[in-house]
């Protein structure tokens, strides 16, 4: 089992020419630090400050672009806010110049990474678990701290990775426990994609179902609308589980919930983080979703009353951003990265190797209510600081994104007591 301490060990062993210790701005004039410049950022607020370049590789035009595009927009809005309020030490932060589109293709992801590799201090957003795994050996060799834009439990075990939020696996445990405790569920079904996302969630759900002694049905499906979900829909109607968990995308959420309810299914649905999109409120499934569906996610929805959400909405209004819960997640993730950069700057370690060391010493970040208390703690053993809490939201048609808070930072008994020894899904 990996502890956080392993990260600094790897960093110390990597032989990279760009590894520099003690890179505050004063001594940067005599050295060169990848991704950190004396020159101001292209859109600098203060021309006297240098620039920190963060990289991002996401899906801007492919199947997960409804997630990737607003997450990047939320991150960029966050750094704009930071720059307008003094930046990070003697620097401002740029997460615009080195944003790349992977079209959710693994080969493209790797190509784009190599295009920006030498210009970034860290990879602050890397969408796709398999995509990120494909470049991880190189990011470690380059001492580039990587932040995956996915919630696979595998990230808890990977050196050089700064994960945030509760894993799909623990999230699904919470979904089962919530179904048992709140709806008295005696049987659980889970509709899931195969692979790193869906199987990670389904395996977590199965662990919780066994712990709680409830009947368990597993339905593997592929992306697509109602026609592609016919087989799964018929199996749900035949098995009639009390609660159906969804670990798919929003398209399958609308298809499965809408069709099963229309055909007389009387159970409830609880969906993983990626299963919701505000666009579902305009679909034929909207009434069924409002009556039967709950969303379990990593951050509270757009309209939530926290200091971080209020700050985010104020900035979003100034740039004309539409309400979007993925924008919220991009903003929240950046607040954790901000904590890392601040700590590295304070320690005079604003370099790639410095960030590696700073991750292991980061003991928490004030996210102003975006994440639960204790978020951003990478300083201890995995099982001490792995996130296990989730937001539970219900659907309300007149809310900004269709979701409103039902329960804040719920953690069920299975996730609370679970001991990680390996990833819930092994790729």
pLDDT tens column, 56-81: 999 999 888 889 999 999 999 999 99
What was the pLDDT predicted at 21? 35
pLDDT (mean) for 117-140: 96
Contact (CB, 8 A) for 360 and 4: yes
CATH superfamily of 168-297+391-426: Response regulator (3.40.50.2300)
Domain 36-166+304-387 listed as CATH 3.40.50.2300: yes
Single pTM value for the model: 0.89
Domain ranges of the chain: 36-166+304-387, 168-297+391-426
What is the pLDDT averaged over residues 388-414?
Answer: 96
* pLDDT tens-digit series, residues 198-254: 999 999 999 999 999 999 999 999 999 999 999 999 999 999 999 999 999 999 999
The pair of structure tokens assigned to 77 is 């809005």
What phi-psi label fits residue 187: left (phi over 0), alpha (psi between -120 and 50 degrees) or beta?
beta
What are the backbone angles phi and psi of residue 403, rounded to the nearest 5°?
-115, 140
- For residue 226, give the DSSP letter: G
Local structure of 78: helix, strand or coil: helix
Using a 10 angstrom Cβ sphere, with 0-12 exposed, 13-18 middle and 19 or more buried, the burial of residue 382 is middle
> 88 pLDDT exceeds 60?
yes
How far is it, in rounded angstroms, from Cα 153 to Cα 426? 9
Q: Token pair for residue 370?
A: 């975006």
Question: Mean pLDDT across the stretch 358-376?
Answer: 90
Asked if the domains 36-166+304-387 and 168-297+391-426 are classified in one and the same CATH topology, the answer is yes
Element containing residue 11 per DSSP (H, E)? helix 5-13
CA 367/CA 371 separation, integer angstroms:
6
pLDDT at residue 26 tops 60: no
pLDDT at residue 31, as a whole number = 55
Give which of 67, 64, 76 is closest to 331, Cα–Cα: 76
Residue 360 is predicted with a pLDDT of 86
Rounded mean pLDDT, 94-114 = 97
As given in the structure block, the two tokens for residue 112 are 């784009």
Percent of the chain with pLDDT over 90: 84
Residue 297 has pLDDT above 80, yes or no: yes
Cβ atoms within 10 Å of 41's Cβ, excluding its own: 24
pLDDT above 80: residue 369: yes
pLDDT tens-digit profile of 336-365?
999 999 999 998 999 999 998 889 889 999
Question: Which of the two residues, 65 and 416, has the higher pLDDT score?
Answer: 416
């Amino acid at each position: 089992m990996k502890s956080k301490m392993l990260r600094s060990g790897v960093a110390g062993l990597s032989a990279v020419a760009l590894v520099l210790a003690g890179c505050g701005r004063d001594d940067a004039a005599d050295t060169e630090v990848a991704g950190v410049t004396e020159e101001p950022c292209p859109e600098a607020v203060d021309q006297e400050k240098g620039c920190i370049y963060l990289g991002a590789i996401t899906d801007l035009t492919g199947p997960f672009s409804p997630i990737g595009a607003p997450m990047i927009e939320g991150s960029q809005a966050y750094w704009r806010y930071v720059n307008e309020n003094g930046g990070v030490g003697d620097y401002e932060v740029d997460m615009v110049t080195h944003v790349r589109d992977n079209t959710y293709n693994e080969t493209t992801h790797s190509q784009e990474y190599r295009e920006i590799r030498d210009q970034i201090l860290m990879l602050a957003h890397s969408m796709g678990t398999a995509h990120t795994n494909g470049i991880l050996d190189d990011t470690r060799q380059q001492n580039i701290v990587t932040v995956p834009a996915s919630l696979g439990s595998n990230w808890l075990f990977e050196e050089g990775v700064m994960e945030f939020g509760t894993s799909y696996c623990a999230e699904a445990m919470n979904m089962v426990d919530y179904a048992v405790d709140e709806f008295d569920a005696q049987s659980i079904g889970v509709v899931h994609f195969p692979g790193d996302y869906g199987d990670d969630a389904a395996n977590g759900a199965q662990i919780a179902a066994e712990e709680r002694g409830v009947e368990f049905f597993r339905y593997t499906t592929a992306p697509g609308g109602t026609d592609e979900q016919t087989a799964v829909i018929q199996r749900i109607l035949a098995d009639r589980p009390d609660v159906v968990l969804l670990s798919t995308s929003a398209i399958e959420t609308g298809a499965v919930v809408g069709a099963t309810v229309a055909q007389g299914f009387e159970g409830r649905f609880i969906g993983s983080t990626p299963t919701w999109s505000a666009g579902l409120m305009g679909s034929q499934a909207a009434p069924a979703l409002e009556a039967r569906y709950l969303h379990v996610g990593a951050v509270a929805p757009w309209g939530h009353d926290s200091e971080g959400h209020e700050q985010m909405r104020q900035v979003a209004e100034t740039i004309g951003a539409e309400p979007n819960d993925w924008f919220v997640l991009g903003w929240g993730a950046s607040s954790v990265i901000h904590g890392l950069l601040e700590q590295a700057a304070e320690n005079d370690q604003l370099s790639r190797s410095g960030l590696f060391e700073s991750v292991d010493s980061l003991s928490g970040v004030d996210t102003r209510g975006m994440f639960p208390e204790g978020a951003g703690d990478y300083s201890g053993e995995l099982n001490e600081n792995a996130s296990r809490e989730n937001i539970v939201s219900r659907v309300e048609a007149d809310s900004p994104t269709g979701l409103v808070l039902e329960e804040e930072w719920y953690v069920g008994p299975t996730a609370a007591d679970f001991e990680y020894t390996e990833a819930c899904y092994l790729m």
